[in-house]
Amino acid sequence: MTVAAQEQGSSGFSLGRVSPQLVSWLVFGVFAIACILLREEMKWLVTYPKEWFLKLPIGGEWVLLEKALEGLMDWITLTFKPVFRFISMVLTYPMRWLEGLLHWLPWPATFALVTILAYRAKDLRLALFCLAGLSYMLIVGYWDESMSTLALVGMSVPLSLTIGLVMGLLAFQYRWARRIVEPTLDVMQTVPTFAYLVPILILFGVGPVVGMVASAIYASPPMVRNVMLGLRRVSDDVIESGEMSGCNRFQLLFQVRIPAATPTIMVGVNQTIMAALSMVIIAAIIGGFADIGWEVLSTMRKAQTGQSLLAGIVIVVMAMMMDRISRGFTERTGDIPLRTGGNFLQRHPLLWAAVAATGIGIVLSHLVPFFKDYPDALVFYPAEPLNDAVSWFTREFFFATDAVKTWTLYYFMLPMKAGLENIARPQSWGFSMTQTTAAIYWAVVLGLGAGLVRLFGWRAGVVVGLLGVLYFFGSTGTPWPAFVAAVTLIAYQVGGWRTALFAFLGMAFMLSTGAWPRAMLSFYLTATSVLFCFAIGGALGIWAAQSDRASAVLRPINDTMQTMPLFVFLIPVIMVFLVGDFSALLAIMMYAIVPAIRYTEYGLRNVDPVAVEAARMMGCTERQVLWRVKLPLAIPEIMLGLNQVIMFALAMLVIAALVGTKGLGQWVYDSLTNARFGQGFIAGGSMALMAMIADRIIQAWAAQKKRDLGVD
């Protein structure tokens, strides 16, 4: 019916020449209406029938893909189990050793080492910050847990860096390696974090090694990318000067290329460390290791908000420390004068200070018990007061928070999920869905569509039509043939038949493996979050682009948000809003809003200044400059921001499964807790496919826009 609206809206104008694109949308409109009208008679239009699921002929039998994958994994496990258990054992030893060392090391020694490292990396301020952060861990009583987490990170980071360096070098040197590595990286980027854990868990068995291996794999892509990028970016002059100095291949690589690429590679190191920490925290979900992630998770499950907040702060502090120290080393300009004179001790005073401090710390810990183990009596653990404060807050502001939650849920989330036709009730909407109200709804959609067509052309009408259908029937109630057709059509018109084919096959995979209903739930939550992120983040981005002060305020916040392990975002949200879709929405938004802000600001600030000057000279007001010149020109950049928002939202969606959402994220999580590879593969694969379809469509769209604007 909406499509009818849009159809009439557009055909109401006498278009001199009807574009083939418009015709295809009109045809689609007829198809969609047919689907909607026939959905009562033909149930399969809404629910994809089980009989049509993909089956593989294995051993003379037709087996569902999920079961086939399960069988494959069983076979691999059975066949290679000794190998993986052996690797697991080999990795466990250094892991346990490092953990033991960090626990044995008296805290004053650790304090001194980290502080000196921070000072070496940057300055006294960072050193003091680290001192404060460590003190927090100690005083709150999370020292042992923190050290366990540190041990996991400390083991997985070198592994990641080695994998990353080797892969990056290979991909840089050999075309065949690049052909394998680049698409692999693209896929890895979109596979949800939990999905990594499933096969590793099955192969390696429960234990800290799973977290370590998972984060080693998860954290290597940024290293690979930056190694490749850095090596590629070394200027020709430098390479040629190396060649003319008579370097052989080996010397050219290790004495010229790699050192010259070091700044970029160090950026990779920083990103890898942060990713490893994030994954280590997530891997706590498997359990079996008393680290800080486990502490957050278990307290969160018991709804001990105060406790989980205190533990969550440890993660935040740890992330900030790791980020700033590693970034300090990256950004250090190297203006330290080359000390050629003096003996070894004079040349490396900090090294000796570190050794001395460790020694003193160890000696002290034997003399004074206080320095050995921080006494329990001095632990300050304000969980109860925090709980009280939180419940006071929620009680006191219940009406405000509840109003926001209810409003968003009833007017936005629920219709997008289940459809207005199913959720309109007199107590929430003031009416129930009857023939009359439905007619009024469609009349409104039709009017709105017609108005927008007049203002912005037929494409606006198509958008209104699609949103109208989605809102009325909900993402779960929309017939899948119409949905698939719409996405495929968009993909075709934006990116050509390859993109369309990819989108179609991706959706076919979700349908034929039974992931579709869950995918639609994920789609609804992602789409809603992305829209909210974009509205709010776009506004903030515009503000930051117009005002330097706003930019200065937002930037450090964005930077910090970006480095946080995803887990952390859940804590404040469930404290106030408890579990549910709304909390998931907020958690996703907190994380995914960052690129919306950043890319909008970046796009606006990087608009060709000549165009802006020209506009000013023509007498545009600031508002006109923004709306008529800057925003249109910044659209390609903003599109890329949208792309990132979607990727971030999908990444967070899986984590949000922990606060009780339904959909693919929850399915992945479920497969993890039950160690079901087939289900994990299908759910994780579906999420990756969703991300990749969105990515390809938006990238193609941005590229098209760029071409149109001539700003390539």
Partner 1 sequence: MAQTQERETKLTCRNVWKVYGSDAGSFFPGGNGAVDDPDALVERIRESGNIGAACDVSFDVHEGEIFIIMGLSGSGKSTIVRCLSRLVEPTAGEVILDGENLLKVSKEKLIDIRRHKMGMVFQNFGLLPHLSVLENVAFPLQVQGIDRAARVKRAMEMIDLVGLSGRETSYPRQLSGGQQQRVGIARSLAVEPELWFLDEPFSALDPLIRRQMQDEFLRLQKMLHKTIVFITHDFLEALRLADRIAIMKDGRVVQIGTPAEVVMKPANAYVEEFTQDVPRVKVITARDIMSQAGKPLEGAQTVAPGTTLEQLMPRFGEGLDAVAVADESGTVVGHVTPQAVLTALATAHEEGSTL
Site string for partner 1, 206-245 (x = CB under 8 A): -----------------------------x-xxxxxxxxx
580 within 8 A of 305, measured Cβ to Cβ: no
Query: How far apart, in whole angstroms, are the C-alpha atoms of residue 499 and residue 510?
Result: 17
Residue 400 binds to partner 1 (criterion: CB under 8 A): no
Residue 267 binds to partner 1 (criterion: CB under 8 A): no
Q: Which residues of 586-612 are buried (b: 16+ CB within 10 A; e: fewer)?
A: bbbbbbbbbbbbbbbbbbbbebeeeeb
Single-letter amino acid code for the residue at 317: V
Only one of the segments 264-272, 295-303, 332-340, 580-588 lies at the binding site for partner 1 (rule: CB under 8 A); that segment is 332-340
> Which tokens sit at 599?
């890319």
Of positions 11, 24, 262, 304, contacts partner 1 by CB under 8 A:
262
Only one of the segments 86-94, 224-232, 294-302, 328-336 lies at the binding site for partner 1 (rule: CB under 8 A); that segment is 328-336
Only one of the segments 88-96, 182-190, 250-258, 650-658 lies at the binding site for partner 1 (rule: CB under 8 A); that segment is 250-258
Query: How far apart, in whole angstroms, are the C-alpha atoms of residue 226 and residue 329?
Result: 16
Query: How far apart, in whole angstroms, are the C-alpha atoms of residue 561 and residue 568?
Result: 10
- Please give the C-alpha separations between residue 92 and each of 156, 168, 199, 204, 211, in angstroms, as whole numbers: 12, 27, 18, 11, 11
Beta strands 61-64; 55-58: pairing state: antiparallel
Query: How far apart, in whole angstroms, are the C-alpha atoms of residue 204 and residue 218?
Result: 16
Residue 165 binds to partner 1 (criterion: CB under 8 A): no
Neighbouring C-beta atoms of residue 575, cutoff 10 Å? 23
Rounded to the nearest whole angstrom, what is the least distance from the CB of residue 246 to partner 1 in the complex? Answer: 3
Give whichever of 82 and 334 is closer to partner 1, judged by the CB atom.
334
Residue 559 binds to partner 1 (criterion: CB under 8 A): no
Of positions 3, 256, 448, 500, contacts partner 1 by CB under 8 A:
256
Single-letter amino acid code for the residue at 292: I
Residue 259 binds to partner 1 (criterion: CB under 8 A): yes
Give whichever of 181 and 260 is closer to partner 1, judged by the CB atom.
260
Give whichever of 237 and 548 is closer to partner 1, judged by the CB atom.
237
Helix (H, G, I), strand (E, B) or coil at 381: coil
Residue 617 binds to partner 1 (criterion: CB under 8 A): no
Rounded to the nearest whole angstrom, what is the least distance from the CB of residue 331 to partner 1 in the complex? Answer: 14
Of positions 14, 79, 333, 435, contacts partner 1 by CB under 8 A:
333
Residue 175 binds to partner 1 (criterion: CB under 8 A): no
Residues 6 or more apart whose CB falls under 8 angstroms from that of 129 comprise: 118, 320, 321, 324
Give whichever of 338 and 610 is closer to partner 1, judged by the CB atom.
338
Rounded to the nearest whole angstrom, what is the least distance from the CB of residue 255 to partner 1 in the complex? Answer: 7
Give whichever of 333 and 427 is closer to partner 1, judged by the CB atom.
333
Rounded to the nearest whole angstrom, what is the least distance from the CB of residue 264 to partner 1 in the complex? Answer: 12
Residues 6 or more apart whose CB falls under 8 angstroms from that of 520 comprise: 475, 476, 478, 483
Query: How far apart, in whole angstroms, are the C-alpha atoms of residue 160 and residue 279?
Result: 12
Residue 79 binds to partner 1 (criterion: CB under 8 A): no
Residue 248 binds to partner 1 (criterion: CB under 8 A): yes
Only one of the segments 24-32, 181-189, 259-267, 546-554 lies at the binding site for partner 1 (rule: CB under 8 A); that segment is 259-267
Say what angle helices 581-605 and 570-577 make with each other, to 10 degrees: 130
Number of residues located near partner 1, criterion CB under 8 A: 25
Residues 6 or more apart whose CB falls under 8 angstroms from that of 481 comprise: 31, 35, 45
What is the separation, in whole angstroms, between the first and last Cα of the chain? Answer: 40
Site string for partner 1, 334-373 (x = CB under 8 A): xx-xx-x---------------------------------
Only one of the segments 251-259, 524-532, 667-675, 701-709 lies at the binding site for partner 1 (rule: CB under 8 A); that segment is 251-259
Residue 246 binds to partner 1 (criterion: CB under 8 A): yes
Rounded to the nearest whole angstrom, what is the least distance from the CB of residue 256 to partner 1 in the complex? Answer: 6
Query: How far apart, in whole angstroms, are the C-alpha atoms of residue 664 and residue 27?
Result: 32
Rounded to the nearest whole angstrom, what is the least distance from the CB of residue 329 to partner 1 in the complex? Answer: 14
> Which tokens sit at 66?
């999920």
Positions touching partner 1 (CB under 8 A) are 235, 237-248, 251, 255-256, 259-260, 262, 333-335, 337-338, 340
